Amino acid sequence: MELNEQFKDRGVTFISIDRAPRPKAATGFLETNKVVHTVLSDATGSVFDSYRVAGVPTTVIIDAEGRVMFRHVGYSPGDEGRLAREIESLLARKSNEI
């Protein structure tokens, strides 16, 4: 199950941001993989700079207060499991705070 689908009803939002202009390879990837979450372009590079993106892809998991909680550079098949566990840990912490 894709992470988007797994967390869609739990207040989790997925956004991809690429540098503008979008490279042809990225456009092909988005089309081939039928990406369903929001994809934005960072025309000025300010988002990349703000989150200290040095390599692509970089995954940043941000909590409900806007704090960076997890950061990963690169991607390997199976990373979804780790990301799901990290998201679950943040959701559990949030529910314990209520």
pLDDT per residue as tens digits for the range 26-37: 788 888 878 888
How many folded domains does the chain comprise? 1
For residue 7, give the CATH number of its domain. Answer: 3.40.30.10
As a dihedral over the C-alpha atoms of residue 66, residue 72, residue 78, residue 82, rounded to 10 degrees, the angle is: -50
- 97 domain-assigned: no
* Domain boundaries, position 40: 3-92
- 29 domain-assigned: yes
pTM of structure: 0.80
Asked whether the predicted pLDDT for residue 69 surpasses 90, the reply is yes
End-to-end CA distance of the chain: 28
pLDDT band at residue 62 using 50, 70 and 90 as cut-offs: very high
pLDDT band at residue 44 using 50, 70 and 90 as cut-offs: very high
- 98 domain-assigned: no
Secondary-structure percent of the chain, ordered helix, strand, coil, rounded to 5: 40, 20, 40
